[in-house]
Amino acid sequence: MMKTFSIGGIHPSDSKISKDCKIEVLPVPSKVFISVAQHLGAPATPIVKAGDTVKVGQVIAEPAGFISAYVHSSVSGTVKSVGPRKDLAGNNMTHIEIDVEGDEWVEGVDLSDTLITAIPEDNKAILEKIKMCGVVGLGGATFPAHVKLCPPPGKVADCLILNGAECEPYLTSDNRIMIERSKEIVVGAAIMKQVLGGCKTVIGIEENKPEALAAMTAAVAQLQKTAKGYDGISVMTLKKKYPQGGEKQLIDAVMGRQVKSMGLPIDVGAVVQNVATSLAVYEAVQKNIPLITNVMTITGDCLPMEKQHNYKFRIGMPLSYIAEVAGGVPEQAAKIISGGPMMGKAIANMEATTVKGSSSLLYLTAEQTVRGVESACIRCGKCAEACPMGLEPFLLQKYARHNMTDELEENAVQDCIECGCCLYSCPANIPLLDIIRIAKGDVIRIIRTRK
Amino acid sequence: MTQTIIWTIAILTILGALLAVVLYIVAEKFKVEEDPRIDEVEKVLPGANCGGCGQAGCRAFAQFCVESSPNLDKCFCPVGGNDGMQKVAAVLGVEVAVKEPQVAVVRCNGTCENRPRINEYGGYQSCRVKAALYSGDTGCSFGCLGCGDCVAACQFGAISMDPATGLPVVDEEKCTACGACVKACPKAVIELRNKGRRNMRVFVSCVNKDKGAVARKACKAACIGCGKCAKVCPFEAITVENNLAYIDFAKCKLCKKCVAECPTGAIHAVNFPVVKPKPEAVPAAQKPEAAPVAENKPKEE
Amino acid sequence: MEKLLVSPSPHLHTKTSTKSLMRDVVIAMMPAVIVSVLFYGWSELLVLGVSVASCVLLEYLITKYLLKKPCTVCDMSAVVTGVLLALNLPATTPWWVVFIGAVVAIGVAKMTFGGLGQNLFNPAIVGRVFLLISFPTYMTDWTRPQGFIGGGIDALSGATPLGAVKEGGIAAIECLDYSDMLFYNIGGSAGELSAIALLIGFAYLLVRRVIKPYITCSIIATVAIFSGIFWAINPAEYTDPVFNILTGGLLLGAIFMATDYVTSPMSNVGGIIFGVGIGIITMLIRYFGAYPEGMSFAILIMNSVVPLINKWCHTKKYGR
C-alpha cells in the first residue's frame, strides 16, 4: 500500500510531457539582471556598484536580516547599473545589471564532475557554507535553507524528508535531476541529515516517476555500500495525488504526523527539503559552488516535442531570452506560467529574469486556463472534499466577502496553504482561492498583532 | 363554550401580567447605567454607521464624543460635516472648531486611451486581489486597477466606474468624505482633499513614482516629476518627491499656473468657471490639459 | 497570442461544471424515465413533457422578467427539477395539475429563495407535496394507463402497496412478490415503478462521483433497521424491511431527492445524520401517520434542519 496524505487532494492529469528531455545547459546571454529578492524574507542589500567587475560566484548582495540570503553573480563581467526593474509581476525591484565578459569563476570553486562522498565533520562550517552560498529552498517557497537546518532550541528533528514528489502537473525538473544527479542529491541529503543530528531520512517520490525512483534507490544503495554516513536513508514511493509536495501533506504522508495550526514542521520533528535544495547543498558544501543555477522546464501542451526542454539556467537570465533559445513562444499560448499550473505565477512581464526558485516556463492555451463564468454556489461540497487542510472553502469565501474575520479565524482560514484545490474543483467557477488568500493574509496579520 | 372562552381569557391575562412583572424585574435588575447624553448625541448624528469617524459606528462615535468632551478636536463626523458637529457641540454644550469640508479625489487619469493595457487580467474582479497578484494590466504599477473596490466600499453611492475610461468617478454631491474608498484602494490612488473655494480644486491626477521616461511610456497622462509646476508655483504648495509632484491643498491658492505648465496634463483643475474661449486663443488641440476642466463643468450649479 | 493573460493561481480547472453535474443527474434518471414511459405510455410522456417544459420555461421567464438576472436555464437544474417532479407524480395526472406543480416547484420553492443554490427545500418535493395536499384525488389515482408494453399487468390493481397496507392491513399485500417491486410491477408514482432502474442510476451517480453514498445508504440502512425491529416484534402488523425499502418512492427519494446538493448537508457526518433523520421520520409516518408513505415529508422536514446540521458538522481539519 503506497502512502499518501490523509485529507482531501485532487488528481489533475500529470502531463509530464518533458519527463524524458535531458537537462541541457543554457548559453549565457550578453547581459543579465540579477534580482536582490530571490528568497523569502527581506531583499538582499547590493554591495556592488556600477563599474565594478565581478566574477562568477562572487557575492553581489548581502542578506538584510535573519531571514534573507546572499546573492551571487551568475556571470563574469562589469556591473552596468544597480536600480529598479520590473519583476515577474511587473512591480519594481532592485536588479543588478551585469554585462557579460567571458566566464571567469571565483577562486576555490570545484567545477569538475567528481563525486565527493566524504562528508565534512564540522556541522558549523557546513551551515556557514550553506549560508554563504546563498542556498534557499527550491521547492517553491525559497526559504533560506540554513535557517531551516537549525532547529530552534528544544526542538529535535526526527526525520528529514526529501521532497521529490513533484506533484505539480507539467513540471519535470526535479524528475530530471533525480535521474541525472541522483548521487549528488543523496550526498546532499546525508550532509543535511548530519547537520540535523543524524536523524532518519526519507526521500519521498511519487509513483509516476519510476525512473527517478529507480535511480534514487540505486544511488542510496550504492552510497550506503561504499561510503560512511549514509545509514538511515531510504526512498519511499508515494501515491500520485496533488498537493503531495506540500510540506504539511508530505509530513502526513511520510510520517503520519500532522503539524498544528500556525506551527512549524519541526514541532512534529520533521524537516522538509526539496531534492533540488539537496543538490544545491551538495554543490555548496562539497564543491564551493554558490546557488546561481537551477533546472527549469520549458513545456506546455501546445509545444511540439522537440521544443520541450529541461534547461540548466543561471539566475538573471531574461525569460524572453530563454523562451527564444527554446524555440519561441507558441502562437496558441494564452498564459505563461513560472512554476506549476496549480501554484505557479502567471507572468505579466517576459522581460523579468530568472531567480533561484524559477522552475518552469509553462505555456497554457486559452482553452486550458481561462476561467468559466462564475455562477451560484450549488453547495456540492467539492471544494471541502478537495481541500488537503480539511477546510471549508465555500464557507470561508462567504465570510471573507463580508469581512467576518472572527468567523474566518474560527474556521481556520490561516491554515490555508493556497494549493488551489478548491478553485480547481469548483463546478461553479467561484474564485474561492482569490478571495480566501486575501482573507488569510488579513487574519494572519490580526493574529500576529495580537501576540 | 362560554366557560372555555372565559378560562382562556383569564389564563392569558394572568400569564401576561406575570410575564410583565418578570420582564420589569429583569429590566430593572440588569439595567446598564449610561450617560444619557450619548443617546442625545446619537440622535443628532446621521446614522449612516459608515465608520468614517474612525469609530465602530454612530453610537460608538457618540460615546467617544461624550468621553472626549469638552475637547472635541479628535471627533469629526465627515458625513454630518461641520453642521453636524455644531449640533453635537450644542448638545454637549461645548465649542468645536470648524473644519474645512473635504471630498474624495481620484488621482489617476490612466484612461484606456492614455494608458494602454499590456496584458489581460483573468482573476476575481477585485482591486485587492489584483494588487496582491501583480502590478496591473497596464505598464503603470501605481495607478488605478479599475476593479471598483472603491465603488463597493462607498455606502453613499457616490462612486461609480466610468466604462469609457475604466476609472472611478466621484459624485461630489453625494460624497461625504468618510474615507471608506481611501481605505479600500490598495494603490492609495484616492485621497481626501479640501473641497476648496466654490468646489474649485487643483490637484496632480497621478501617483506614479517611476522615473519620467518609464512613467511616460506607461501612461500619456503621467506625472513625470519634471518639477516645472513646483518652480512656477508662487505659494510653494507643490513638492516633487520620488518623481511625483504633490499639491498641498492647504497652501494652494488656485492660481492654476501649474496647470498650464504641466507638459503631460497631469495637473487637473476642476469646477473652475467657464472662460469663454476667444477666437484668437490657442486651439484646444494643443492644450490637452484643458479637457478635464471642460468635462467637469456641467457639475457646477 | 496578443496580450498575456494574468490571473491568480491555480491556472487549471476541472472539466466538471454545474451543467455537467446536472446533466449527469438527468442521465442517471433516464433508466427510471425509460421504464416508466414504456409501462405507462403516452400519458407518462405527457406528464414528463409538461413538467420539464414548464419548469424550464418558468425559470427562464422568472430570471429574465422578474429577477432581471442573467438567465440560469443553461445550467440544466430546471430540467432536473422537471424530471424529478414528473417521476414523483402518477402517470395519470392531468397536464394542468403538473403545470401547477411546476409553478410551485420553480416559482415558489426555488426562485423566491434566490434561485439555484439558495433554496432551503427541494423544489420537486415541494411541488409534489403541494399537489398531494391540494389535489389528493388526482395524486392518488393509481389506475394504470396503457403502456407501450405490458399494460395492465398490475399484481395489485388500483392502489400502491403502501396505500393498500394503510387501508387493508398487512394481509392486503400478501399477493405481492419482491420481484414485482424490484422490476416494474407495482403501482404508484412514475418513478417508483422499478427499483432496479433507480439503482442503476445510483450506480452511475457514484461512478461519476456526482454524489457520495452516505445519505442514500444511511436512509436505506435506517429504514431497514427501524422496520426490521418492528417487524421482528410483530410481523402480523408491521411490514417487513425489504418491502419498505422497495416501495413508496423510498429509493427515488433516497437516491435523487435527498442527495440534492443544495438541500442536503455538506459534510459526510452531516449527510449520515440527515439520512438517519429521513429514515426515521419516513418510517414513523408509514407506521403511525395518516399518509401511507412519508418520504417526501421526511425529506422536507430534514431539509429544514440542514442549516443546523451544517453549522454543527464541520470537516475534519488538518492538525486539529
**Exposure pattern of A376-397 as b/e (b: 16+ CB <10 Å)?**
bbbbbbbbbbbbbbbbbbbbbb
- Exposed, middle or buried, A27 (CB in 10 Å: 0-12/13-18/19+)? exposed
Q: Is residue B21 over pLDDT 80?
A: yes
Write the residue in A364, A378, A431 that is nearest to C116 by C-beta.
A378
C177: confidence class by pLDDT, cuts 50, 70, 90: low
Q: Are strands A59-62 and A45-46 parallel, antiparallel or unpaired?
A: antiparallel
Domain residue extents for chain A: 1-18+109-370, 382-450
Q: What is the pLDDT of residue A397?
A: 94
The residue assigned the cell 418535493 is C125
User: DSSP class of residue A10?
Assistant: B
Measured CA to CA, the distance from residue B255 to residue A377 in angstroms comes to 56
- How far, in Å, are A443, C35, C90, C128, C296 from residue C192 at the CA level? 51, 10, 9, 14, 13
Sheet containing strand A159-164, strands side by side = A233-238, A200-206, A159-164, A270-274
Place of cell 425559470: C59
Whether C10 has a pLDDT exceeding 70, the answer reads: yes
The 3-state DSSP class for residue A215 equals: helix
Chain-centroid distance of CA A413 in Å reads 23
User: What is the spatial distance between Cα A314 and Cα A311, in angstroms, rounded to a whole number?
Assistant: 10
- Residue C171: what residue type? A
Find the helix or strand (DSSP H, E) in which A144 lies: none
φ/ψ of A362, rounded to 5, equals -115, 120
b or e along C47-73 (b: 16 or more beta carbons within 10 Å of the residue's beta carbon)?
bbebbbbbbbbbbbebbeeeeeeeebb
User: What is the predicted pLDDT for the residue at A1?
Assistant: 74
| Residue of B193, B219, B189 lying closest to B207 (CA atoms) | B189
Which pLDDT score is estimated for C223? 94
Shortest CB distance from C317 goes to which of A344, A390, A425? A390
The CA distance from A162 to the nearest CA of chain C, in Å, is 21
C119 close to C262: Cβ distance less than 8 angstroms: yes
Distance (Å, whole) CA A164 – CA A211: 12
Alpha helices in chain C (DSSP H): 18-61, 77-87, 95-102, 123-134, 136-139, 161-168, 178-182, 195-207, 214-233, 241-246, 250-252, 268-288, 295-312
The predicted structure's pLDDT at residue B285: 43
Cell 488537503 found at: A388
What pLDDT score was predicted for residue C157?
Answer: 52
Q: Which residues pair with B194 in a beta bridge?
A: B102
Contact criterion met (CB below 8 Å) for C204 and C213: no
pLDDT of res. B293: 43
Could you read off the pLDDT of A25-36 as tens digits, one per residue?
A: 999 999 999 999
The rounded percent of chain B whose pLDDT value lies above 70 is 91
What is the reported pLDDT for C61? 93
Chain C: list its partners (3+ Cβ pairs within 8 Å): A, B
CA distance C168 to C164: 6
CA separation for the pair C311, A398 (Å, rounded): 14
| Contact (CB, 8 A) for A24 and A306 | no
Q: Is A322 at the interface with chain C, CB within 8 A? A: no
Q: Is A252 on the interface with C (CB under 8 A)?
A: yes
Residue with cell 532518519: A200
List pLDDT tens digits, range B22-58.
Answer: 999 998 888 877 788 888 888 888 888 887 787 888 8
pTM of the model: 0.86
Cα–Cα distance for residue pair B38/B61, rounded to 1 Å = 9
Q: What is the mean pLDDT of residues C280-306?
A: 91
Amino acid at B144: C
CA angle (B44, B48, B50) in 5-degree steps = 125
Q: Give CA–CA dist A283/A316, Å, rounded.
A: 19
Q: For residue B15, give the amino acid letter.
A: L
Cα distances from A295 to residues A141, A204, A354, C8, in angstroms, run: 16, 19, 11, 24
A9: phi > 0 → left, psi -120 to 50 → alpha, else beta; which? left
Chain A touching partners, 3 or more CB pairs below 8 A: B, C
More confident position, B274 or A311: A311
Q: What is the pLDDT of residue C293?
A: 78
User: Least CB-CB distance to A376: which of C21, C117, C317?
Assistant: C117
Q: Smallest Cα–Cα separation from B133: which of B120, B152, B114, B117?
A: B120
* Residue C259 CB coordination number (10 Å): 25
pLDDT of amino acid B299: 39
Pairwise CA distance, residues A221 & A213, whole Å = 12
Question: What's the number of CA atoms in the CB half-sphere (13 Å) around residue A79?
Answer: 23
pLDDT number for residue B284: 43
A91 vs B141: CB contact, 8 Å cut-off? Answer: yes
Question: Which pairing describes strands B267-270 and B201-204: parallel, antiparallel, or unpaired?
Answer: antiparallel
Q: How many cross-chain Cβ pairs, B to C, lie less than 8 Å apart?
A: 26
Instruction: pLDDT tens for chain A, 451 residues: list them.
Output: 789 999 999 999 989 999 999 999 999 999 999 999 999 989 999 999 999 999 999 999 999 988 999 999 999 999 999 999 999 988 899 999 999 998 999 998 999 989 999 999 999 999 999 999 999 999 888 999 999 999 888 889 999 999 999 999 999 999 999 999 999 999 999 999 999 988 899 999 999 999 999 999 999 999 999 988 898 999 999 999 999 999 999 999 999 999 999 899 999 999 999 999 999 999 999 999 999 999 999 999 999 999 999 999 999 999 999 999 999 999 999 999 999 999 999 999 999 999 999 999 999 999 999 999 999 999 999 999 999 999 999 999 999 999 899 999 999 999 999 999 999 999 999 999 999 999 999 999 999 998 8
Angle between helices A182-195 and A210-226 (to 10 degrees): 60
The residue with cell 530568472 is A354
C197's CB contacts (< 8 A; 6+ apart) are C31, C32, C34, C35
The whole-number pLDDT of residue B294 equals 41
Which tens digit of pLDDT belongs to each residue from C213-232? 999 999 999 999 999 999 99
Q: What is residue C222's predicted lDDT score, i.e. its pLDDT?
A: 96
The single-letter code of the amino acid at B99 is: K
Taking all residues of chain B, what is their mean pLDDT, rounded to a whole number? 85
The closest alpha carbon to C80, from C143, C138, C33, belongs to: C33
- Chain B interface, best mutation among C7, C9, C12, by max B CB count within 10 A: C7
Residue-level pLDDT at B282: 44
CA distances to A136, A264, C279, C317, C318 from A260, rounded to whole Å, are 24, 8, 38, 10, 8
CB pair distance less than 8 Å for C319 and A379? no
pLDDT at B69: 78
Answer for the pair C192, C186: CB distance below 8 angstroms, yes or no.
yes
Is the model's pLDDT at C290 over the cut of 90? Answer: no
The distance of B118 to chain C (nearest Cα, Å) reads 6
Residue B168 backbone phi and psi in degrees, to 5: -75, 150
Contact between chains at C4 and B119 (C-beta distance less than 8 A) = yes
Task: Report the CATH architecture of A1-18+109-370.
Answer: 3-Layer(aba) Sandwich (3.40)
What pLDDT shows up at residue B291?
A: 42
Kindly tell me the sign of the dihedral angle through the C-alpha atoms of A333, A338, A342, A346: negative
Does the pLDDT at position B295 exceed 70? Answer: no
Distance between CA atoms of residues B54 and B40, nearest Å: 20
- Residue B106's pLDDT band (boundaries 50, 70, 90)? very high
Is the Cβ pair C6, B121 closer than 8 Å?
yes
Residues contacting residue A439 through CB under 8 Å, at least 6 positions apart:
A396, A399, A400, A405, A408, A413
Are the C-beta atoms of residues A337 and C76 closer than 8 Å to each other? no
Grid-cell match 504633490, residue found: B246
Cell numbers at residue C23, please?
Answer: 446533466
Which residue's C-alpha cell is 438517519? C276
> Is residue C66's pLDDT more than 90?
no
Q: Could you tell me the three cell numbers for C257?
A: 431527492
Binned at pLDDT 50, 70 and 90, residue B298 comes out as very low
Q: What is the pLDDT of residue B197?
A: 82
Q: Are A348 and B135 in contact (CB under 8 A)?
A: yes
- Within 8 A of B123 by CB-CB distance, chain C residues are 6-8
For chain C, percent of residues with pLDDT exceeding 90: 56
Cell numbers placing B14: 394572568
In this complex, do C17 and A329 lie within 8 Å of one another by their Cβ atoms? Answer: no
Cis peptide before A431 (omega within 30 of 0): no
For the segment C283-288, the average pLDDT, to the nearest whole number, is 91
User: Who among B117, B118, B129 is closest to C8 (CB)?
Assistant: B129
Residue closest to A352 by CA, chosen among A319, A324, A311: A319
Nearest-Cα residue of chain A relative to residue B120: A348
| Residue C147 predicted with pLDDT over 60 | yes
Q: How confident is the model at residue C181 (pLDDT cuts 50, 70, 90)?
A: low
**pLDDT confidence bin for C276, thresholds 50/70/90:** very high
Q: What is the pLDDT of residue C174?
A: 65
CA-based nearest distance A348→chain C, Å: 6
Instruction: Give the per-residue pLDDT at C189.
Output: 78
Contact A364, C11 (CB under 8 A): yes
Question: CA triplet C32, C38, C44: central angle to 5 degrees?
Answer: 80
Arithmetic mean of pLDDT, C86-97:
91
Kindly state the average pLDDT of the residues C21-50. Answer: 91
A350 neighbourhood in chain C, CB within 8 Å: 4
CA-CA distance, B259 to B268, in Å (whole number)? 7
**Cα–Cα distance for residue pair A240/B61, rounded to 1 Å:** 57
Report the DSSP beta bridge partners of residue B102: B194
pLDDT score, position C106: 94
Cβ distance of B122 and C4 shorter than 8 Å = no
What was the pLDDT predicted at B74?
Answer: 79
The predicted structure's pLDDT at residue B112:
87
DSSP for C198-214 reads HHHHHHHHHHTTSS-SH
* pLDDT at position B292 over 50: no
The pLDDT of residue B301 is above 50: no
**Better-scored residue on pLDDT, C188 or C260:** C260
Worst-scoring range by mean pLDDT, A65-74, B40-49, B140-149, C16-25?
B40-49
